Amino acid sequence: MTNAMAVQVTIYLNESDRWQKRPLYLELLNYLRSENVYGAVVYHSVAGFIGRSRVKTASLVDAGGNLPLVLSFVDLDEHVQRVLPKLKEMASHRLIVRENVVVEQGSLD
């Protein structure tokens, strides 16, 4: 599948985001896994901001679980089209970015 077209989705979250009283990032990962999306990862920041909020860092005493998280996954367009409506519902208040990418190496099988 080298040089095949795929779609990468990135969702900008916050540690304190919840879905049905559980951490949103875990619920998103569980949903993506249950839908057989090829793979997904959550990056935990050491510093950052979301929207127009102030910069938060891991060294701030008052960070209190408010650091930004980034969830990213890559799959074929038809899989992304299938899961995107639920992702938009679950993370309705967060930025979701979708971009076409080229698989340079490996396979989405």
Name the amino acid, one letter, at 2. Answer: T
Query: Buried b vs exposed e over 43-72: b needs ≥16 C-beta within 10 Å?
Result: eebeebebeeeeebeeeeeeeeeebbbbbe
Residues of the chain above pLDDT 70, percent: 92
User: Tens digit of pLDDT for each residue in 27-66?
Assistant: 999 999 999 999 899 998 777 777 777 777 776 555 556 7
What pLDDT score does 47 carry? 74
What's this model's pTM, rounded to 2 decimal places? 0.86
CA–CA gap between residue 18 and residue 104 (Å, rounded): 35
* pLDDT score at 23: 96
Pick 80 or 60 by higher pLDDT.
80
